Structure 1
Amino acid sequence: MEVRLRIPDDIAAQLQPNGGNLERCALEALAIEGYRSEALSLGQVADMLGLSVDEADGFLKKRGIPLLSTIDDFDYDQQVLRELLA
């Protein structure tokens, strides 16, 4: 799904860290909030951001977000393990 946001240029400039990619920043913020609210599992955050589960865990830890293990996370881990062992 593609989502478009309209942000005034002056505000966009403030939100872009060192001229970084504002689209990526918005995607990361959405993933973080989805994880905090327990709407997204760690595996879903990883998929959303194009990261491995370990990388997503590090991404969240770097931002001070505690790991929330859910049944979905365990199911995702089992699925990945089955694929690796197949």
Structure 2
Amino acid sequence: MQITVEIPDEIAERLNQVWGSLSRRLLETVVADAYRCGEISTAEVGQILQLPSRLETHAFLKRMGVYLNYDEAELEQDLQTLKKFRAQ
């Protein structure tokens, strides 16, 4: 999907100078907010932004000031995995 945003040229040029690609910055902002609201997953963040790894996705979210959606069930699963590896 392609979305058009109207911004006065002089402001868009100034923002492009500060941020680099204004369109990329807008995409990143929308994606970070969608993740923050629980509308998309970590994997979808990486897919939309074409990030090469989960670590890159986590780094992106950290840069954007977004905490990972990590609940108690995921913590328990990680603890069980850790116990399994320690037992080996």
- TM-score between both structures, scaled by the size of structure 2: 0.68
Residues 18-60 of structure 1 deviation map (CA, whole Å, 9 limit, x = unaligned): 2510110011011011011110111101001000221111111
User: What does residue 8 of structure 2 align with?
Assistant: 8
User: What does residue 60 of structure 2 align with?
Assistant: 59
Q: Please tell me the root mean square deviation across aligned C-alpha atoms, in Å.
A: 1.9
User: Following TM superposition, where does structure 1 have runs of at least 4 consecutive aligned residues deviating by more than 4 angstroms?
Assistant: none
User: What does residue 22 of structure 1 align with?
Assistant: 22
Question: Residues of 2 paired with 1:34 and 1:41: CA distance?
Answer: 9
What amino acid is the match of 2:47? D
Question: Residues of 2 paired with 1:3 and 1:50: CA distance?
Answer: 18
| Range that drifts further, 55-64 or 13-22 | 13-22
Is this contact kept in 2: 1:28–1:49, CA < 8 A?
yes
Structure 1: unaligned runs, 5 residues or longer: 71-86
Q: How many residues align?
A: 70
Which has the higher Rg, Structure 1 or Structure 2? 2
Is this contact kept in 1: 2:32–2:64, CA < 8 A?
no
User: What does residue 44 of structure 2 align with?
Assistant: 44
Q: Percent identity?
A: 36
- TM-score between both structures, scaled by the size of structure 1: 0.69
Is this contact kept in 1: 2:35–2:42, CA < 8 A?
yes
